[in-house]
A and B are shown apart, each in its own frame.
Chain A
Amino acid sequence: MSSLAASDDRPLTGASTVIQPGWVRTVHWINAVAMIMMIMSGWQIYNASPLFDFRFSHAVTLGGWLGGALLWHFAAMWLLMVNGLVYLAMGLATGRFRRKLLPLTPAGVIADTRAALTGKLSHDDLTKYNYVQKLLYAGIIVVGILVVLTGLSIWKPVQLHWLTALFGDYAVARVIHFSCMAAIVAFLVVHVALALLVPKSLRAMVIGR
């Protein structure tokens, strides 16, 4: 692991440079599978008692009915949670978060957003994140933590009543849980679209280079 992590700092030296170390690729794809299962089963659960004036199409939900969806949701949650904890621990221990996501300044975000919108943002060095990427990746980590905490709040509003109280109450935590899902889906759309626009970034997340 330490040799993989150290490779983050290696300078660009042609094809041998590792852009995404093995542990990042592993947790990324496990997270992708877990997150999609959580979202699709979550939509089926939502349909049982919609918060808003719409339901998700049966074609994009998982589980067939409420009971089936709950089984998927409460199975995939372990995968999401354990994998997420490994990601957070590794990100902190290897210094990847600090190296990749910091510094994160408003001026940098504004400048890079402008550059992105005018088509002047460079993708030559995939080992370095621009400020828009830094903001989105740091932001989605926060949302990921929130979606798990609000999920725990509405799963265990008695045993973890202090956590539920942190979000207000059960009903509020439920709305925040839904909002986090919406933010994750919005991120997913942008994330996948940009990965397809810059295919070498997708390649790096598959084979590392």
Chain B
Amino acid sequence: MGRLRSLLIPGVDKQLLVKDAVKIMPDLARRRFIAGGASLGALTLLTGCDVTDSFSADDLLAKVSKFNDAVQAAIFNPNALAPTYPESAITKPFPFNAYYELDEAPEVDGKAWKLEVRGLVDNKKSWTLDELYKLPQVTQITRHICVEGWSAIGSWTGTPLRDFLKLVGADTRAKYCWFQCADKDGYNSPLDMETALHPQTQMTFKFADQILPRAYGFPMKIRVPTKLGFKNPKYVLSMEVTNEYKGGYWEDQGYNSFSGS
């Protein structure tokens, strides 16, 4: 009898069901947060009282996050370089990380791909991979730091973004470079111009001296060692130079937009 009662749905073990549910919790919790519920709920738990509509903890937190954007932009030193490491320090294997599994990662056809350049630039021509490969490249060995806390050291080779911005005649007084990517659900992310012009910000074509593999963002990723990992877009399709804040995949869900290191 006891065994039967523990089966919520005939044939389904309650404990296993809960275990499965917990596995998908982060997603659910995330959606609840976006709807404005989660942190309010947490606050209610903390204070033991109802939080009315007249005060929203989410609004206050969003305001502080905007303030933190301004603080980070103010203390950003365009000449401060991310520490570099010897080849022996490279993390092997370098982790694949995304909001989907590796087999769901975009499979971009390098021959058909073109980098679209839009917005406040003199030359809006699209660039093929062969054309981009001909630009002068440099290699950096830097630490990639994920918003989750883990970090890994990798070797990235490509063209400094500021050289490319100069080449296409970008208006570098504009506020952002906004990148759109091939990830499912349409990944995108804004990069403030000061960071885009940082000497280590790179249009990356190679990882560990090999053509960028699919796992790390083939055909092109933007490597930004002065930002958290999610501000390093992979599978880049287009770049728009703009004064408009167009939001980003994670930024819109609540990650701090500047997220500088």
Q: How far does the alpha carbon of A78 sit from the alpha carbon of B38 in the complex, in Å?
A: 22
Q: A residues within 8 A CB of B150? A: 49
Query: Is B261 within 8 A of A66, CB to CB?
Result: no
Chain A interface category by residue count: 20 to 34
Q: In whole angstroms, how far apart are the Cα atoms of A45 and B37 in the complex?
A: 18
Task: Decide yes or no whether B42 CB sits under 8 A from chain A.
Answer: yes
A71 touches B250 (CB 8 A): no
Q: Check A13 for interface membership: any CB of B closer than 8 A.
A: no
Query: Are A49 and B256 interface neighbours, CB within 8 A?
Result: no
**Which of B58-66, B131-139, B163-171, B176-184 is near enough to bind chain A?**
B58-66
* Given A62-B42, A63-B38, A64-B42; A48-B149 close (CB under 8 Å): yes
Kindly specify which of A93-101, A132-140, A152-160 makes contact with the partner chain: A152-160
Please classify how large the interface on chain B is, using the bins under 10, 10 to 19, 20 to 34, 35 or more.
35 or more
Residue contacts A-B, CB under 8 angstroms, 19 given? A48-B149, A49-B148, A62-B46, A63-B39, A63-B42, A64-B33, A64-B38, A64-B39, A66-B26, A67-B253, A68-B254, A70-B255, A71-B65, A75-B65, A157-B83, A157-B143, A159-B75, A161-B82, A165-B83
A29 smallest CB distance to B (angstroms): 15
Contact partners of B42 in chain A: CB under 8 A: 62-64, 68
Bound-state Cα–Cα, A51 to B151, Å? 11
| B127 at the binding interface (Cβ < 8 Å) | no
Given A62-B46, A65-B33, A68-B33: A75 and B61 interface contact (C-beta under 8 Å): yes
Residue from the list B61, B77, B143, B250 in contact with A159, Cβ < 8 A: B77
Q: Which residue of B lies closest to A71 (CB)?
A: B61
**B253 to chain A: which residues have CB within 8 Å?**
67
A112 touches B (CB below 8 Å)? no
Are A158 and B82 in contact, CB atoms less than 8 angstroms apart? Answer: yes
Query: Which B residues form the contact surface with A (CB < 8 A)?
Result: 25-26, 29-30, 32-33, 37-39, 41-42, 46, 60-62, 64-65, 68, 75-77, 80-83, 143, 145-151, 225-226, 250, 253-256, 260-261
Number of A-B pairs whose CB atoms are under 8 Å?
106
- What is the chain A residue whose CB lies nearest that of B75? A159
The answer to whether the Cβ of A72 comes within 8 Å of any Cβ in the partner chain is yes
- Leading 8 A-B pairs by shortest Cβ distance: A64-B38, A67-B254, A49-B148, A48-B148, A75-B64, A71-B61, A158-B261, A49-B149
A165 to B143, CA, bound (A): 13
B39 and A157 within 8 A (CB): no
**Chain A interface mostly:** helix
Shortest distance in angstroms between B98's beta carbon and chain A's nearest beta carbon? 14
B151 touches A171 (CB 8 A): yes
Q: How far is the CA of A70 from the CA of B259 in the complex (A)?
A: 11
If the complex has contacts A62-B42, A159-B75, A159-B76, are A71 and B62 also in contact, measured as CB distance less than 8 A?
A: yes
Q: Per-position contact with B for A139-168: 1 when CB-CB < 8 Å, else 0?
A: 000000000000000101111010001000
**New A-B contacts (19) at CB < 8 Å, excluding given A157-B261, A158-B261:** A48-B147, A48-B149, A51-B149, A58-B25, A64-B30, A64-B32, A65-B26, A65-B30, A67-B33, A67-B253, A70-B256, A71-B62, A71-B64, A156-B260, A157-B82, A161-B82, A165-B83, A169-B143, A170-B143
What is the minimal beta-carbon distance from B155 to any residue of chain A, in angstroms?
17
Known: A63-B39, A67-B253, A170-B151. Contact between A156 and B261, CB under 8 A? yes
**In whole angstroms, what is the CA distance A67 to B77 when docked?**
26
Q: In the complex where A63-B38, A158-B261 touch, is A75 in contact with B60 (Cβ < 8 A)?
A: yes
Residues of B within 8 A of A51 (CB): 149
